């Protein structure tokens, strides 16, 4: 596959491969020994391909370019794309990455994000992860979105800005909330640093999107801080 990955990303991958040699991994999707993410799980993942809404990336059953929701209420981001539907192996792998401290999965799953970015014409200056709140970050010890965003940034030779966004309000779990409740839950939950983002084109990275409410809240905060435009990328899309 032709990609424009930087040589430094080769070194980064080599480092993780060295660790695999010392500690042989198990697949985050199926548990099979040998690779962190096996070919079977990769091939079985339900990739999101057109037709989809060109703005929010929602799969569509027809070839309408913009979904009704984005027509009536356009999102603050230019476009949001996700690699696969949140089910099966990728769901299990994200669970491992997020809750089971399987942090080595970040580098290997970021490949999906790199492939999507390579397929777009997006003009990006800065890569930023969607942050966790301080409390949750402390409990988990790491931000799973950062584990995806960092390898993406070094693969594409783009500046990685961990502090571009801050979560200023701790939000409750969104699992059982409706679209409207999610939007309300994350509204004003983020703040962006204008010293970092003003005048720039930002791509924000997360593990999963459901209704796009978190992406929307982050995009609004970034634009409020003077960002030129915002794109979103997630590994999976639920719902």
Asked if residue 98 binds Zn ion (CB under 5 A), the reply is: no
Sign of CA dihedral 23, 115, 151, 237: negative
Q: How far apart are CA 129 and CA 233, in angstroms?
A: 10
| Tokens 């409207």 belong to residue | 180
Given a contact cutoff of 8 angstroms between Cβ atoms, the answer to whether 106 and 145 are in contact is: no
Size of the site for Zn ion (CB under 5 A): 10
Q: Which of 147, 152, 161 is CA-nearest to residue 201?
A: 161
Of the candidate residues 19, 26, 30, 60, the single one contacting Zn ion (CB under 5 A): 30
Nearer to Zn ion, 149 or 215 (CB): 215
Nearer to Zn ion, 34 or 159 (CB): 34
Nearer to Zn ion, 19 or 66 (CB): 66
Asked if residue 93 binds Zn ion (CB under 5 A), the reply is: no
Nearer to Zn ion, 30 or 48 (CB): 30
Q: Checking DSSP bridges between strand 79-85 and strand 126-129, what pairing results, if any? A: unpaired
Nearer to Zn ion, 30 or 103 (CB): 30
Q: How far is the CB of 68 from Zn ion (least distance, A)?
A: 8
Q: How far is the CB of 43 from Zn ion (least distance, A)?
A: 10
Asked if residue 29 binds Zn ion (CB under 5 A), the reply is: yes
Residues 43-62 that bind Zn ion (CB under 5 A): 53, 55-56
Of the candidate residues 27, 93, 154, 186, the single one contacting Zn ion (CB under 5 A): 27
Asked if residue 36 binds Zn ion (CB under 5 A), the reply is: no
CA distances from 129 to 54, 146, 176, 181 (A): 22, 5, 24, 23
Of the candidate residues 52, 70, 204, 215, the single one contacting Zn ion (CB under 5 A): 70
CA-angle at 152, arms to 151 and 157, nearest 5°: 95
Asked if residue 219 binds Zn ion (CB under 5 A), the reply is: no
Asked if residue 38 binds Zn ion (CB under 5 A), the reply is: yes
Q: How far apart are CA 215 and CA 209, in angstroms?
A: 8
Q: Which of 184, 227, 234 is CA-nearest to residue 206?
A: 234
Q: Which of 194, 4, 231, 232 is CA-nearest to residue 114?
A: 4
Asked if residue 81 binds Zn ion (CB under 5 A), the reply is: no
The contact set with Zn ion (CB under 5 A) reads 27, 29-30, 38, 41, 53, 55-56, 67, 70
């Amino acid at each position: 596959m032709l990609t424009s990955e930087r040589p430094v990303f080769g070194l980064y991958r080599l480092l993780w491969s060295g660790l695999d040699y010392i500690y042989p991994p198990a697949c985050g999707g199926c548990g099979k020994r040998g690779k962190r993410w096996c070919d079977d799980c990769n091939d079985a993942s339900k990739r999101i391909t057109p037709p989809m809404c060109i703005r929010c990336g929602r799969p569509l059953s027809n070839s309408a370019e913009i979904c009704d929701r984005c027509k009536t209420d356009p999102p603050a981001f230019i476009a949001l794309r996700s690699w696969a539907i949140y089910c099966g192996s990728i769901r299990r792998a994200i669970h491992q990455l997020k809750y089971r401290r399987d942090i080595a999965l970040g580098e290997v799953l970021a490949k999906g994000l790199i492939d999507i970015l390579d397929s777009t014409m997006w003009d990006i200056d800065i890569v930023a992860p969607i942050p966790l709140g301080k409390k949750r970050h402390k409990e988990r010890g790491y931000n799973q979105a950062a584990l995806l965003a960092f390898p993406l940034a070094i693969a594409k030779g783009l500046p990685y800005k961990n502090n571009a966004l801050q979560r200023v309000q701790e939000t409750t779990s969104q699992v059982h909330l409706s679209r409207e409740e999610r939007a309300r839950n994350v509204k004003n939950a983020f703040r962006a640093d204008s010293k970092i983002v003003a005048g720039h084109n930002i791509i924000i990275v997360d593990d999963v999107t459901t209704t796009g409410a978190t992406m929307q809240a982050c995009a609004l905060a970034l634009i409020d801080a003077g960002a030129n435009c915002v794109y979103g990328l997630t590994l999976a899309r639920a719902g």
